[in-house]
């Protein structure tokens, strides 16, 4: 019995010890909770700070102060620049395009600014802009075409030819609205003509005329006639001069002003004279005389006394043959 009582006392004593241990451990449990609360607080604070920093560095539209500068986007500057270019205010147009570049630099903006620089004769700046435009977009046909025109002015004909080749390739893959394959082929034909690549010029002018888009210009026929003449193909050259005159007669009434009509008439007079010379080489005297009489009539209409006298002398020399 004594053993049993002792055991009971021990059990009671153990219960008291356990209770005391639990009571003693409670302060530590609360401390842990406090630590975790502090840790979570700092984590939340960190995310909040990071979020505010991101918002500061990358503001949303709600945080942007709306000003006239912000509202006027790159396209607005481009449109304004185009209007100024049309009005001949080149310097002001360049200033608008400078702002457009700072706002949203694109390949087309650089190409347009290059055109503006080229108009005022700043060829170095123009070339730099065309180069950047092409670096940004290797399929920018307009930039290649513009740089070809610039290299032509600088008499870098080989470089111009390379650029027009690239313009043709780019246009076939990524067409630009303001360009046509007809015009690009005609431009390459002109370059080949200047480089005395007569057959290449004939092929390009023929490709140009075969295209359906765009507007046929009499120059294409006249320049192909020059290539045919250089090749000794006088009959095709005569046919092309005749076609050039026909196109002028069809389009002259739509000329924008009297000066342009007189210029086209003067060109037609020259084509008649060249055709007459080729007909004379082929012993087509009657055809040559007819061409000269047509040229004389135009000279009289233009009140061009010098040309009238010269052509009349040619007619007289034919009659003496």
Q: Which tokens go with 266?
A: 């003067």
| Tokens standing for residue 247 | 């196109």
Note the CATH architecture for domain 200-321: Alpha Horseshoe (1.25)
Question: Residue 283: what pLDDT?
Answer: 95
Task: Assign 8 a pLDDT band (cuts: 50, 70, 90).
Answer: very low
Q: How is domain 69-179 classified at the architecture level of CATH?
A: Alpha Horseshoe (1.25)
pLDDT confidence band for 6 (50 / 70 / 90): very low
Q: What is the pTM of this model?
A: 0.73
The 10s digit of each residue's pLDDT in 100-148 is 788 778 898 899 889 999 999 999 999 999 999 999 999 999 999 999 9
Q: Where in the chain is the domain with CATH 1.25.40.10?
A: 69-179, 200-321
- Helix, strand and coil in the chain, % to nearest 5: 80, 0, 20
Which of 93-97, 237-241, 289-293 is least confident?
93-97
Q: Which residue has the tokens 């005749």?
A: 242
User: DSSP assignment, residue 283?
Assistant: T
Provide the residue count of the chain: 321
Q: Which two tokens stand for residue 159?
A: 């470089």
Helix (H, G, I), strand (E, B) or coil at 60: coil
- The per-residue pLDDT for range 235-270, each reduced to its tens digit, is 999 999 999 999 999 999 888 899 999 999 999 999
| Residue range 273-287, pLDDT digits in tens | 999 999 999 999 999
């Amino acid at each position: 019995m004594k053993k049993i009582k002792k055991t009971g006392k021990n059990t009671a004593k153990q219960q008291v010890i356990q209770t005391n241990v639990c009571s003693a451990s409670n302060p530590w449990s609360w401390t842990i909770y406090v630590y975790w609360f502090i840790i979570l607080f700092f984590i939340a604070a960190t995310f909040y700070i990071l979020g505010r920093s991101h918002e500061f560095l990358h503001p949303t539209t709600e945080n942007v102060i709306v000003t006239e500068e912000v509202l006027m986007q790159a396209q607005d500057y481009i449109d304004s620049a185009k209007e100024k270019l049309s009005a001949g205010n080149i310097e002001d147009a360049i200033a608008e395009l400078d702002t457009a570049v700072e706002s949203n630099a694109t390949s087309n903006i650089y190409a347009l600014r290059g055109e503006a620089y080229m108009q005022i004769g700043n060829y170095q700046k123009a070339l730099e802009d065309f180069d950047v435009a092409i670096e940004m977009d290797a399929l920018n046909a307009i930039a290649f075409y513009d740089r070809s025109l610039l290299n032509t002015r600088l008499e870098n004909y080989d470089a111009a030819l390379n650029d027009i080749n690239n313009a043709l390739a780019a246009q076939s893959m990524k067409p630009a609205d303001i360009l046509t394959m007809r015009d690009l082929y005609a431009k390459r034909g002109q370059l080949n003509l200047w480089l005395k690549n007569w057959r290449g010029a004939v092929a390009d002018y023929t490709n140009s005329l075969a295209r359906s888009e765009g507007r046929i210009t009499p120059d294409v026929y006249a320049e192909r006639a020059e290539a045919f003449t250089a090749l000794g193909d006088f009959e095709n050259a005569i046919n092309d001069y005749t076609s050039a005159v026909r196109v002028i007669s069809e389009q002259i009434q739509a000329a924008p002003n009297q000066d342009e009509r007189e210029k086209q008439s003067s060109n037609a007079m020259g084509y008649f004279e060249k055709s007459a010379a080729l007909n004379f080489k082929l012993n087509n005297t009657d055809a040559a005389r007819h061409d000269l009489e047509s040229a004389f009539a135009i000279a009289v209409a233009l009140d061009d006394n010098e040309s009238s006298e010269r052509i009349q002398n040619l007619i007289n020399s034919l009659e003496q043959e």
